[in-house]
Amino acid sequence: MDLQLKDRKVLVTGGTRGIGRAIVEAFLAEGAQVSFCARGQEGVDQATQALGERAFGQALDITDTAALERWVNESAERMEGIDIIVPNVSALAGGPELDAWRQAFDTDLLGTVTMVNAALPWLQKSYAGSVVIISSVSGREVDIFAEPYGVLKAALIHYGKSLSRRLAAEGIRVNVVSPGNVYFADGVWGKIEREQPDLFAECLAMNPMGRMARPEEVANATVFLASGAAAFTTGTNLLVDGGLTRGVQY
């Protein structure tokens, strides 16, 4: 299947490890150009060196609105446009403290909205404009990551749906991908495995397929939804959870 992604211009936040890194690599494998960002300069430098000449990295904090907007516009100027954006960064914030709620709100929700708003004038110039928001199954069902992480992930699903309706007439598609448990060694589940092995075993057992997802499995779903092969798909929330969730999605 031709995903029609050759020479597409793509922006990805949180692109140095885990799901974000796998998304960057998947777009590059399809012939796209990718500008990515992440908080740490060292990780950005290592990823930029490893990913090749069609990938451009920058270190920034996406809660810094001016810095995020500047990165979007500088990326668009460098690539001569934007076709696809993937707001991927999450604060992974948990706990009842107000600081955790503010961190989740500023990173997960406002970071996504800021990126979309900054990229919109460029997406409107593209004939293949697409937004894929990375949410979570925690936005659909109450689990151990319910507050504030799950609450803000639920908000992203609602935002993606409403945005898809608003932008459909302009030919810009908006979809959401909601991963289940995604394992990589330096991610949240790798940390839980090392520090709370009993909890890890309990959560692993909840996965009907007997394992957690790999980052590239989430990346493949993301890249498909962004691609021309999904040209008539907008407003969907695609679960990549191996059957973890129990709710029926109508």
Catalytic site positions: 135-136, 149, 153
Q: Report the C-alpha gap between 115 and 135 in whole angstroms.
A: 15
Preceding peptide of 208 cis, ω within 30°:
no
Q: How many CA atoms lie within 13 A of 199 on its CB side?
A: 12
183: amino acid identity, one letter = Y
Rg (Cα) of the chain, in Å, rounded? Answer: 17
- Walk across the sheet containing 33-38 and list its strands: 55-59, 33-38, 9-13, 84-86, 130-134, 173-179, 237-240
